[in-house]
Structure 1
Amino acid sequence: MLTDIIATNLDVIFCGINPGLKSADDGHHFSGRSNRFWKVLHQSGFTPYGVQAVNDTSILDFGYGLTTAVARATSRADELSKEEFDESLEAFKVKMTKFQPRYVAFLGKAAYQAFSKKKEILWGHQSEDFCGAKVWVLPNTSGLNRGFSLDDLVASYREFYVAIQE
């Protein structure tokens, strides 16, 4: 089981699609050996040092939180059904309304596409808010996401980091 790491009025809640099997098994976000989330977060400026997945709760110290769009763990996000996203939407909206982050950063297009009902989504800042939070869509850091090199990921996350400093 993977527990949200969340508090009220955070600068950003990073929203993964769903937990990977290893993360769900050990209870730490982005703990899969091939997941690049923690490395990318540090290299793009969000954290002053590389956080280890076992210390994932320390992300709150920087004003960030972690959640997932769908709670069910899978080895691949494409194992999730449209119905699972639909069933998760209301609980996700309640969570965002309760915790009121400045930004929700969706990691990958899948969850935001399902939640917004939009067919076409561009990377980066989205024009409409989600439950009062600004929305940014970032590439997923999963090791299965071969479309983005580490440098590509760092550049995307850095663009977001710079934007939220303004």
Structure 2
Amino acid sequence: MSLPDILGPGLRVVIAGTIAAWDRDALEHYYAGAGNSFWLLLHESGLTSRLLAPDEDQLLPSYRVGLTDLIRTEPSPRGEPPRFDVAGFHAKIAAAAPEALAFVSKTAASSYARAAGERAPRGYGELSWSVVDCPAFVLPGPSGANNGMPLPLRIALWRDLVDFLDSL
């Protein structure tokens, strides 16, 4: 199970995460968990002109931002990395044709890289590879589990995405 993609025409960026749990859709909206700073980072970076609430996620295409996830194809055996539908992910990114793709964490970028045969990212920022001819970028994760990184640094790294988009 997964949340429906939030995509549309003319997107500047699609932000892609990875479903860490099979029951994530129980939240009903992207990044709605307690302690998640996604919506604050989105606004403070300049990607949205106002702070949106998770239940306003359907408004994102009006800001030229889309959301999707890497989708697990099946539970992985213990000790093995998750298995993802790379072909399906490529198809939806190609169909959306955003100016860029941003992975919402190194975990998401590394999961994609492992599944697609690319080199895992070492840091944040622009990646040396693309996803179906779409330039790719890595953001620091917004979850409460990433609270070891100070919020001002996370905001600065998300603003780097806006600078990257402006350079395309």
Q: Which of the five TM-score ranges fits, normalised by the shorter chain?
A: 0.7 to 0.9
8 Å Cα contact 1:15/1:104 also seen in 2: yes
Residue 65 of structure 1: how far off its partner (Å): 0.2
Give 2:14's aligned residue. Answer: 13
Over the matched positions of the two proteins, sequence identity in percent amounts to 25
Which residue number in structure 1 is paired with residue 42 of structure 2? 41
AA aligned to 1:95 is K
Cross-structure match for 1:104: 101
Per the alignment, in what secondary structure is the counterpart of residue 149 of structure 2? Answer: coil
Please tell me whether the aligned partners of residues 103 and 138 of structure 2 are also in contact (alpha carbons under 8 angstroms). Answer: yes
SS at match of 2:130: coil
Question: Cα gap change, 1:8/1:121 in structure 2, threshold over 3 Å: closer, same or farther?
Answer: farther
Structure 2, unaligned stretches of length 5 or more?
none
State the AA in 1 paired with 2:105. G
Query: TM-score normalized by structure 1?
Result: 0.84
DSSP 3-state at the match of 2:108: helix
Bigger strand share: 2
Using the size of structure 2 for normalisation, the TM-score is 0.83
Contact 1:104 1:136 in 2 (8 A): yes
Q: Deviations over 1:10-30 (max 9, x none)?
A: 110001121667851132111
Deviation at 1:8, TM superposition (A): 3.1
Query: Does the CA-based 8 Å contact 1:59-1:65 persist in structure 2?
Result: yes
Q: How many residues align?
A: 158
Q: Per the alignment, do residues 50 and 140 of structure 1 end up closer, same or farther by CA in structure 2, a change over 3 Å counting?
A: same
Q: 1:83 to 1:43 in 2, by over 3 A?
A: closer
1:89-111 residue CA offsets vs partner (Å, 9 max, x unmatched): 12111111111111110011123
How far is the alpha carbon of 1:122 from its aligned partner? 2.5
Q: What residue number does 1:164 align with?
A: 165
CA contact (8 A) 2:38 2:142 kept: yes
State the Cα deviation string for residues 67-125 of structure 1 (Å, max 9, x = none): 011358xxxxxx995242xx321211111111111111001112322322324532100
| Separation in 1, partners of 2:22, 2:82 | 20
Question: How has the CA–CA distance of structure 1 residues 102 and 125 changed in structure 2, closer, same or farther, with 3 Å as cutoff?
Answer: same
CA distance in 2, matches of 1:143, 1:21: 19
